Amino acid sequence: MRSELAKRSYAVRPIAFGTNTDPYQPIEGEWRIARGCIELLSECNHPLTITTKSDRVVRDLDLLAPMAAKGLVSVAMSITSLDPVIARTLEPRAPHPRKRLAAIAALTEAGVPCSVSVAPVIPAITDGEMEKILEQAAAAGARGAFFLPVRLPWEVAPLFRAWLDTHFPDRADKVMAIIRSLRGGRVNDPDFFTRMQGSGPWAELMRTRFRIAVHRYGLDKGRMPLRCDQFRPPRGPQGELFD
């Protein structure tokens, strides 16, 4: 990362942590990979966004709070369900939902703008919790929100079906039928422009409910724009002797 940021051709844009996999895996406490990257971005005044399901993010508040004061960082906390049984079986390695709400409160108290990601929304399993998640996230201090219907790409689909058969056998077929209705008759929609939103009446119902709840709980403040004008290239491994 240091080498990339030091290139003369580098164009500054916010770097997104957590769009592919969570940067705060349990092993982060030992390996500190995310923290090392944040340290470098802080050194360079480089903007970043973080999406995570973990309250471990608050361990880096000593870095994130000063960056937030400069308009350089925002965090999205992902909450799938407030039901501890569903959360434990669906996300067994992720912290309890209450810890995530507490993390939103801690981030907000430290001045780090925080939003809530209601994702993934699983029809007939967690969709009934949408409004409650938004209400409690707003009470914790979140300023924005977004949601994503469940996606089942590649090997995720059989794993998800096995989870349904184990924990919700009474409604497994119903859940899969609704998912297919969201995805144009398939279990997954690979199209870049529709895969994150879904289509059809179920998707429209989710969007309507979400829009009403977001307005009700004041989560429509919009995303905090991050500043790119403060960036300074990092010093290379040889320092500035040959710059």
Beta carbons of 140 and 97 less than 8 angstroms apart? no
Are 81 and 129 in contact by the 8 Å Cβ rule? The answer is yes
- Cα–Cα distance for residue pair 77/157, rounded to 1 Å: 24
pLDDT at 238: 56
Confidence of residue 226 (pLDDT cuts 50, 70, 90): very high
CA 184 – CA 189 distance, rounded (Å): 7
Confidence of residue 197 (pLDDT cuts 50, 70, 90): confident
pLDDT at 241: 42
Percent of the chain past pLDDT 70, that is, above it, reads 97
pLDDT tens sequence across 36-54: 999 999 999 999 999 999 9
pTM to 2 decimals? 0.93
Counting other chains too, the contacts that 1-10 makes at CB distance below 8 Å and 24 or more residues apart are: 1/37, 1/40, 2/40, 2/234, 2/236, 2/237, 3/236, 5/40, 5/44, 5/46, 5/233, 5/234, 6/233, 6/234, 6/235, 6/236, 10/233
